[in-house]
Structure 1
Amino acid sequence: MALEPSLRAPLNICVFCSAAELDAVYTDAARTFARLLGERGHSLVWGGSDSGLMKVVADGVQEAGGRLIGISVEFLKNVARANADEMIVTADLAERKAAMLARSDAIVVMVGGTGTLDEATEILELRKHGMHTKPVVILNTAGFYDGLREQMRRMEAEGFLPVPLDKLVSFADDGTEALELLGA
């Protein structure tokens, strides 16, 4: 699923992740991934929050020289990052997801709760139906998404996925592998 070599210029990489304060196993991995994004000149497209894991990723990208493109939602604009390079505020979550997809070249799903899972499944559903061809990588920090990977393998094996799983999504154990899978 890696991008063609001609597309290996800096990308707008959408990251879906939690706005919650999390354990160091997740924040350390997120910080490392964010630093790689920034050092390689990529821009972060994210939910715009200045809290939790979203803040960790935004801080890391910005500190390493990358651009921040925040896409918040009206009811969360009070927690939006003040110093993003761009901040867009949408009317609702559906509009935010659409804007995040439109502004990105590739998607990485990091650890998160139901909101992150909702974002991931919608992006995968759109990809499954050919509504976008952007690569999607699930960053499986500390095995967080092992259960989801297993469930998706079962979906594929039992005929619930009309496309092969490896054409739909890739799983990476760390940020370096995620960027390699994106060709970034």
Structure 2
Amino acid sequence: MTSYQRSICVFCGSRDGGRESYALAAEETGRAIAQEGWRLVYGAGDVGLMGRIARSTQAAGGATFGVIPVHLFEREVGKRDLSTFIVTENMHERKKVMYMNSDAIVVMPGGAGSLDEFFEVLTWRQLGLHEKPIYLLNVDGFWNPLTGLMDHFIGEGFAEESLKAYVTVVDDVPALTDALRTALS
């Protein structure tokens, strides 16, 4: 009998962002995923936070599962030395393959693409299409404006208060690792 390896989907920026703490958190997250024996599922890029998390997962001996759409292969420098490397036709297919091959979702600092990924999995959760845990890694308060926006649209009657229960905000990688351990046990 073979054991099932838990997989953590990480959505994050294809840039490093403006603070060193984002890069350090990506590297620490990659190491933690490997040390816990989990597999990293991510966007298959070798740039920005994506590249950092993949390289640190690999350096710590972890498995990596990357998914990249054909039109971003050059822009995001598709990382071919992953344990599993998949090229999709489009962004929607990329997100679907990443989601289908993971047990939990982590959203690190990033831009519009990371927000798109977050809101898609959050909406699916709100509609009852999955029960996978979703975490915002709130490095240096990066996601505070987003959680404020969620409070705003709840306050304005566009969502129920229960929406916030679908997302766990964690401030650092040790807290994230603890939360994932609990959720995946």
| Length-normalised TM-score, structure 2 | 0.89
Taking the TM superposition and a 5 Å limit, the aligned residue runs for 1:101-116 are 101-116=99-114
Partner amino acid, structure 2, of 1:134: K
Query: Partner letter of residue 8 of structure 2?
Result: I
1:94-113 per-residue CA deviation (whole Å, 9 max, x = no partner) reads 11111111001000000000
Distance in 2, matches of 1:134 and 1:38, equals 20
Amino acid in the other structure paired with 2:15: A
Q: 1:76 aligns with which of 65, 72, 79?
A: 72
Letter of the structure 2 residue corresponding to residue 101 of structure 1: Y
Whether 2:36 is the aligned partner of 1:19: answer: no
C-alpha displacement of 1:155:
2.6
Q: What letter matches 1:73 in structure 2?
A: P
Contact between 1:156 and 1:164, CA under 8 Å: does it hold in 2?
A: no
Q: Secondary structure at the match of 2:73?
A: helix
Q: 1:165 aligns with which of 153, 157, 163?
A: 163
Match of 1:88 in 2: 86
Note if 1:40 corresponds to 2:36: yes
Among all aligned residue pairs of Structure 1 and Structure 2, give the percentage whose two residues are the same amino acid.
38
Q: What's the offset of the Cα at 1:32? A: 1.2
Contact 2:25 2:173 in 1 (8 A): yes
For these two proteins, the number of residue pairs brought into alignment is: 176
Question: Separation in 1 of the partners of 2:137 and 2:114?
Answer: 12
Gapped regions of structure 2 (runs ≥ 5): none
Farther off after superposition, 155-164 or 170-179: 155-164
Counterpart-to-counterpart distance in 2, 1:165 and 1:13: 22
Q: How many Å separate the matches in 1 of 2:139 and 2:5? A: 24
Of the three residues 41, 51, 54, the one matched with 2:47 is 51
- The more displaced of 30-39 and 127-136 is 30-39
Q: Using the TM superposition, name which of 173-182 and 53-62 deviates more.
A: 173-182
Contact 1:128–1:163 at 8 Å: present in 2 too? no
Q: Structure 2: which amino acid aligns with 1:20?
A: R
Q: Is 1:31 the equivalent of 2:55?
A: no
Q: Which contiguous aligned blocks of 4+ residues in structure 1 show a shift greater than 6 angstroms?
A: none
In structure 1, list runs of 5 or more residues that go unmatched. 1-8
Distance in structure 2 (CA, Å) of the matches to 1:86 and 1:92 = 18
